[in-house]
Structure 1
Amino acid sequence: MKFLPILFVSLVCLCSNAQIEKKQVTALKTSVKPIIDGNLDDECWQHAATAQNFVMFKPKNGTPERLDKKTTVKLLYDDEAIYFAAYLYDNTTDKIPLQYENRDQIGNVDYFAVLLNPNNDGQNDSGFFVMSTGAQADCKIDKKREDFSWNAVWYSAVKITPSGWQVEIKIPYSALRFSEEVDVWGINFIRRIHYLNEQYSWNYINRSKGFMTQYAGELTGISGINAPLRLSFSPYATVSNTWFEGKSSFDKSVGLDVKYGLSESFTLDATLIPDFSQTAFDNLELNLGPFEQRYEEQRAFFTEGTELFKKGNIFYSRRIGNAPVERHLVKEKLEDNEIITHNPDKVDMINAIKISGRTKKGLGIGFFNAITARTTASVRDTLKNTSRKIVTEPLANYNVLVLDQQFNKNSSVGIINTNVTRSGHFRDANVTALTYNISDKKDHYNIKGNLKISNVFDDGKYKKGYSGFIELSKIYGNFQFEVNHWRNNSKYEVKDLGFQRRNNTANYTAEFSYKIFEPNRTFNKYKISLDNKLKYLNNPNEYMGNEIELDGFFMLPSRFAFGGSIETNIGIQYDWFEPRVAGRYFKHSGILNTNAWVSSDYRKKFAYYAGATYGSRYGKNENYMAFNFEPRFRFSNRFYLIYEIFYARLKNEKGYVHNTEDKEHIFFGNRRITTLSNAIISKYNFNIKSALSLSFRHYWSPVKYSSNFFELTKDGNLIPSTYSNSHDENYNVWNLDLSYSWEFAPGSQFIIFYRNAITNKDNFSNLNYTKNLKHLFKQPISNNLSIKFIYYLDYNKLKTWL
């Protein structure tokens, strides 16, 4: 191997936890539960422990709280839950923003948050947010990420008074994972005063180094808990009807989600006969390049509590229930006179489970398993009028196992394995990754990386590949940097259960940045960064190109922000992937791209974002221009609308169109690509529990080729060719989702969902926008209406009903 995979070993001995001054609060056990109504007049609060003296961490760092904006928090506990009462003083209550949003949506509001870390490991917080409207949000927080896809069942209430606003919270132990042997919990409180653009914390947070999770205070006194069984059920039922091409199809399904606390620290999540019919649509785009497009996971089961499974970046959950692995081979298996009558583009999932948690000594364990159903395509012989099935995806099992050891409250090492086993002769795969992320005792420097090995078993052949990454960075102070190296070989493949765009490459990257943590007279904050990258083919060791980018972000005290970037390549660039044939490359000159954007204050009723880009290739008549505009209208605290328009034009781009069967002749075309996208996102909130939501997007991208085509020579140049096939494309995606959701009880929902969708690709690239729309609406339109009912049942409450 041509790189050092595990340089971190020499640094382990340097790592010990930085000594950060921590506040302490001792919780008292109560025999009388407070009523969660926001009034804070329960007798038990009079004897509760108190946390106060908050300090600012945004925009300034360490400034004491304002005298007229003090925050006082009281806390209690019993055998069922932890309770909090917060007094959020504010002598200008008319300025407290009250934009209604549903769960996990933080809009134009003030909020109070409790950050809990029962294992006190400095790396894994659970956040519970209560908005000034009374809405809730919850998330998992690690070093650099807040994951609001995690959901727990807990209780809160707010009340606005002449002297400010009050919050009352109950967090059941069933919402937490903890060891009864840990005497000291990590805890912090956060308050946002939105109209002042200020955020405060109880325990000081130094934004110039480390991460928020390392700055927790200490909660003591919680002991002798007779914690209840952590077991809940969420049965659901869905009925739907789809209309397409004059036909109507009715469907119904029932299923069950289960959460079970295997121990004080580990939880099992299971879904049986899952239903994802109401999942948000993907923002599909035209793809003429050699690489797969990546879309974010939208299914709740695969986004909630999955932070452990993201270690090593080899698990891409969209692979489960995606297109059948041999769907594209059906045409090749047709016999004479046969046609395809049905070829499903998705695989049904039968069930899935995940087990995750972390021991008191910091060992995180994650186990995931999913089973997908056998999928077949239907073909028919038009002469004999007979039909047969072709298996495109057999019964398959997807498995992930993670071990991640954290230490010193700022470091970790881990191993993750993914495995895909398909029945019969179909392709199987196994990938293992070793990961490390280590900071020094002062949180000044960090080294992280991974080493991955992939094994693929396909058609009686075995293929083994590797990939490695290492990065050294300075993570404190105004000036920061990171340098890294990444390399993989030609046999490295993770696409069965991971995401991969390319292999057989090597990159060297260095990024330098300067940013401020304290506002000055001109700027609230700013960051300037310079990024440099060298790209090589791994085998043979061939130079591919380089990238240099200067980027800037600036925000004024008024919350008006602006920025931009300049990106270029120096010298000749060698693209080894655009030709789509191994061993061949396309040679071209570098580009110069410039970008600029502005963004207004989103606290105002009208706000906007606007950006523009222009780029050109050196010495060529190839250029790119784009602009986007996003006005935001908040008509009231209940109703808002966001409109997004994006326009781009790429002129005289040279790109791959075809190659001969023997791969000796590769043809390129000269094309003009236009893209126009219009989108609307709107919501009307009846209250914090129910809302009517609209998501609309029309994406249009026509591609027009000139009549002159080219052939790629062995030395990477283009010469004129007599090739003359048509490759014009006209690509349209139309999506409209309208839904009503009502959270009628904690963890329980009633949802009515309507979807209108069209996807069409043809060669009518000469149509203007109006004629294109008329043509689009002549295509088959899919209409779907579904109703879903989910009910949350806690085992401990269920016992009292029986």
Structure 2
Amino acid sequence: MFPHRTHTTTLALLVLGGGAAPLLAQSSARAQTAQTTAAAAHIAARPQARVVPLASPVVLDGKLDDAAWASAPVATGFTQQDPNEGKPATQRTEVRFAYDAEALYIGARMYDTLGAAGVRSRLVRRDQNVESDYIQFVFDTFHDHAGRTIFQVNPAGVKYDAGQATPSADPSWDPVWKAATHVDSLGWTAEMRIPFSQLRFSRDTTQVWGMQVWRYVQRLNETSMWSFWGKNDSGGPAFFGHLEGMALGHRPRALEILPYTLARASYVAPTQPGSPFQDRRAYHASMGADVKALLTSTLTLDATLNPDFGQVEVDPAQVNLSDSESYFDERRPFFVEGSGLFSFGGLNCFTCSDVSGMSLFYSRRIGRHPQGGLPGDPRYSDVPDNTHILGAAKVTGRVRRGWEIGVLDAVTSAEDAGLVYADDSRLTREVEPLTNYFVGRVRRTLHAGDANVGAMVTSVGRRFGYDSLALQLPAHAEAAGVDWVWTWQKRAYELRGNFALSQVSGDSAAILRLQRSSVRYFQRPDRGNGSNGFFSDAYDPGLTALRGYGGYLRMAKQAGSWLWESQVNYRSPGFEVNDLAFLSQSDYVWTQGNIRRRWTTPTRYYRYFQFTTGAQRQFNYDGAVTSTQVHGSVYAQLRNYWELSLYGQHRPEVAADRLTRGGPSVRRAGLNFVQASVNTDSRKRFVFGTSPWTERTADGARSYGLNADLRMKPASNVSVSFGPSFDHAENRSQFV
């Protein structure tokens, strides 16, 4: 975007752009092969449902009285997963499917032996926990045994959706679709219309989708499914049934342009009386546009020019007294949509603490609060709240069997702060430079969804208008990584991992700030003497680049009655990705192992019971043990659907290398921690839960607390919660 942009970004664009052309050319020819291969790799014989062309128009009123439904085949034969695993559902469910050139239509009849009196419904916001009956459809639209796209509705018409055709369905995805419901003497019915424009799939062949249908009957706490798998199975798209029969022609390319103009007026009393930068009256006007284009049947371009996110929900207020940065979720629509494709790595565990997964892309870095410091002690200052995004664009989708790609590029403007000092002198200082952000992501599904491998590259390039800002921020930051998942024996076993490299470069003063930051504390006086070879591991004020690596590896058995896991997570001292990702700590190696036994067959005492025990340990690259933990827990769901749990943890004395925030390591006393919890049946009108805990350290400090929660549901659209808590904390280790 500007002359000194890094070679890493340019190379990534060439690789992704050049590689996409032959893949696009082959995507149509390979689509049928992909579906044939996936069909042959099912774990067991799966049920099939057929979708037929829409014979006549459907009025979406939820009543299923349109003539079109009479000619649509019925899919039924649901099986319980709860409470009586493997037995036929006690309440019959029938679903029908039809389609036209624009949309998929679903008609569902949920019978209830008590008629309308048996239907439980609640009116809540979209995508919230409904705590009522519902019908849910999950589609694997590419039939690669990897993707999930979810549509759900309850008897009140409350919709839930998540997607889009990725292994981890993203609940922040909000497609445009319609649903209508109706309660009658037989139970309740639902009609749904899902436009094909909201879905991603291969559009130039006869369709075969993977599909699962779930039904929940709240009064019986019964969960049934169309294509059955047991609680001890790994489950997922490899166990889905098939939706067959759609023959859709190639969809023509589409272009949507949404221009906008914005005018804003504010009348607020100044927060700095006398400031020349504030007025009781302020006016603002801007304009921009959003663009969406369908490049191919499976690739989408999204772009935004001069976006305004003023209507996005604000972050919750926090008081952060720790040495780590606060993490906030992304809420801006442009970055939320399709964000699942840009996820990287991940970390799974039965029970673990004080650990986080690998992050290479945290979209909140784009448009962040200006980072530059202010010189001196100004009396008044005018600093922008956020960096302005000049424009951003991304291409996401699939280009051939098993291949997904995502490319994102964004440019943010230089931001200036106005300053007035005590002697009335004025100064304008740049607090954020002109910056370009790039992310490239590829991921491929292998062996009919049993494995996948991916890669990601990121780059940040800055153009400084003032030398002082170059002393505070790196000029360039690059990262690259690979991640993978491999499963075998009907997905009962898993090998998951990732590995990444990072480099930041710039003025030695900017790199020194990174060395002294709370992420690594290179200046600790008792830190070992590293070599500062290719990877940075020693304090050196003259460094102009910081390089590091990080990774994660987990092997686990995740199906059956006995489960186990063993994993390692590590970040080298010089690993640094905070220019476009989120990293709170480097210089550690974390190891962990757990064993779990679960009983899924109900008895006279419980419906479900599990026991977990394990341990974890963390040490830094000097070899000092900084955390050790042995833990155990039990969980039970009783016959009356109450839930009980007990968790215990023992931590011996270790060396704390971060407690003094760059000073020497200190002794951290060992401790014992116990927590119990009781929760009543969540279906009832009154629900109560409590969770007492206690902790005692080896130096005699004792802490304890009690959390309680009472929920009352006086009506189907009203829920009142009351949650008092009490905590008493002692800490006899103090640092002055």
**C-alpha separation between the residues in 2 aligned to 1:42 and 1:479?**
50
Confirm or deny that 1:651 pairs with 2:730. Answer: yes
Pairs within 5 Å for 1:65-84: 65-66=89-90, 69-84=91-106
**C-alpha separation between the residues in 1 aligned to 2:490 and 2:123?**
42
1:470 positional shift: 0.9
Pairs within 5 Å for 1:254-273: 255-273=288-306
Confirm or deny that 1:394 pairs with 2:433. Answer: yes
**C-alpha separation between the residues in 2 aligned to 1:476 and 1:142?**
24
- Which runs of 5 or more structure 1 residues have no equivalent in the other structure? 1-14, 656-667, 670-802
Correspondence for 2:541: none
1:509 positional shift: 0.7
Correspondence for 1:633: 712
Give SS of 1:301's match. Answer: helix
Confirm or deny that 1:346 pairs with 2:386. Answer: yes
Correspondence for 1:243: 268
Confirm or deny that 1:324 pairs with 2:347. Answer: no
**C-alpha separation between the residues in 1 aligned to 2:222 and 2:134?**
11
Correspondence for 2:8: none
1:345 positional shift: 4.5
Correspondence for 1:24: 48
The alpha-carbon distance between structure 1 residues 258 and 193, as it changes in their structure 2 partners (threshold 3 A), is farther
Residue 403 of structure 1 aligns to which amino acid in structure 2?
V
Give SS of 2:723's match. Answer: strand
How many residue pairs end up in the alignment?
A: 630
**C-alpha separation between the residues in 2 aligned to 1:564 and 1:141?**
37
**C-alpha separation between the residues in 2 aligned to 1:178 and 1:115?**
14
- Which runs of 5 or more structure 2 residues have no equivalent in the other structure? 1-37, 272-279, 346-358, 465-469, 509-543
Correspondence for 2:567: 484
Residue 628 of structure 1 aligns to which amino acid in structure 2?
N
**C-alpha separation between the residues in 1 aligned to 2:53 and 2:366?**
46
Pairs within 5 Å for 1:431-510: 431-459=479-507, 461-510=544-593
Contact 1:143 1:211 in 2 (8 A): no
**C-alpha separation between the residues in 2 aligned to 1:167 and 1:219?**
18
Identity %: 25
Give SS of 2:729's match. Answer: strand
Correspondence for 1:529: 612
TM-score by length of 1: 0.74
Residue 311 of structure 1 aligns to which amino acid in structure 2?
F
**C-alpha separation between the residues in 2 aligned to 1:626 and 1:442?**
44
Which of the pair is proportionally richer in strand? 1
The match for 1:196 among 220, 242, 256 is 220
Correspondence for 2:351: none
The match for 1:135 among 154, 158, 168 is 158
1:30 positional shift: 2.8
Correspondence for 1:403: 442
Deviation per CA, 1:186-216: give whole Å up to 9, x if none: 1221111111111111111333222322221
1:649 positional shift: 3.1
Contact 1:79 1:227 in 2 (8 A): no
1:137 positional shift: 1.5
Confirm or deny that 1:49 pairs with 2:89. Answer: no
**C-alpha separation between the residues in 2 aligned to 1:248 and 1:109?**
49
Deviation per CA, 1:558-587: give whole Å up to 9, x if none: 2221213111112x21111112227x3111
Residue 158 of structure 2 aligns to which amino acid in structure 1?
A
1:183 positional shift: 3.8
Residue 197 of structure 2 aligns to which amino acid in structure 1?
S
TM-score by length of 2: 0.81
1:595 positional shift: 1.2
Give SS of 1:138's match. Answer: strand
The match for 1:518 among 598, 601, 620 is 601
Contact 1:17 1:410 in 2 (8 A): no
Pairs within 5 Å for 1:241-320: 241=266, 243-245=268-270, 247=280, 249-251=282-284, 255-312=288-345, 313-320=359-366
The alpha-carbon distance between structure 1 residues 338 and 621, as it changes in their structure 2 partners (threshold 3 A), is same
**C-alpha separation between the residues in 2 aligned to 1:390 and 1:360?**
49
**C-alpha separation between the residues in 2 aligned to 1:244 and 1:206?**
62
Correspondence for 2:666: 586
**C-alpha separation between the residues in 1 aligned to 2:261 and 2:594?**
51
The alpha-carbon distance between structure 1 residues 299 and 596, as it changes in their structure 2 partners (threshold 3 A), is farther
Give SS of 2:564's match. Answer: strand
Give SS of 2:678's match. Answer: strand
**C-alpha separation between the residues in 2 aligned to 1:597 and 1:142?**
37
Give SS of 1:378's match. Answer: strand
**C-alpha separation between the residues in 1 aligned to 2:415 and 2:687?**
48
The alpha-carbon distance between structure 1 residues 554 and 230, as it changes in their structure 2 partners (threshold 3 A), is farther
Correspondence for 2:536: none
1:502 positional shift: 1.0
Give SS of 2:144's match. Answer: coil
Deviation per CA, 1:451-501: give whole Å up to 9, x if none: 110010121612210012111101111211110112221110111111112
**C-alpha separation between the residues in 2 aligned to 1:464 and 1:94?**
65
The alpha-carbon distance between structure 1 residues 308 and 608, as it changes in their structure 2 partners (threshold 3 A), is same
1:130 positional shift: 1.4
Contact 1:74 1:84 in 2 (8 A): yes
1:236 positional shift: 6.0
1:342 positional shift: 2.6
Correspondence for 2:406: 366
Contact 2:151 2:161 in 1 (8 A): yes
Give SS of 1:347's match. Answer: coil
Confirm or deny that 1:88 pairs with 2:168. Answer: no
Residue 210 of structure 1 aligns to which amino acid in structure 2?
S
The alpha-carbon distance between structure 1 residues 18 and 202, as it changes in their structure 2 partners (threshold 3 A), is closer
The alpha-carbon distance between structure 1 residues 18 and 171, as it changes in their structure 2 partners (threshold 3 A), is closer
Give SS of 1:103's match. Answer: coil
Which stretch of the first structure deviates more once superposed, 310-319 or 500-509? 310-319
Contact 1:237 1:254 in 2 (8 A): yes
The match for 1:156 among 153, 176, 179 is 179
1:143 positional shift: 8.4
The alpha-carbon distance between structure 1 residues 117 and 143, as it changes in their structure 2 partners (threshold 3 A), is closer
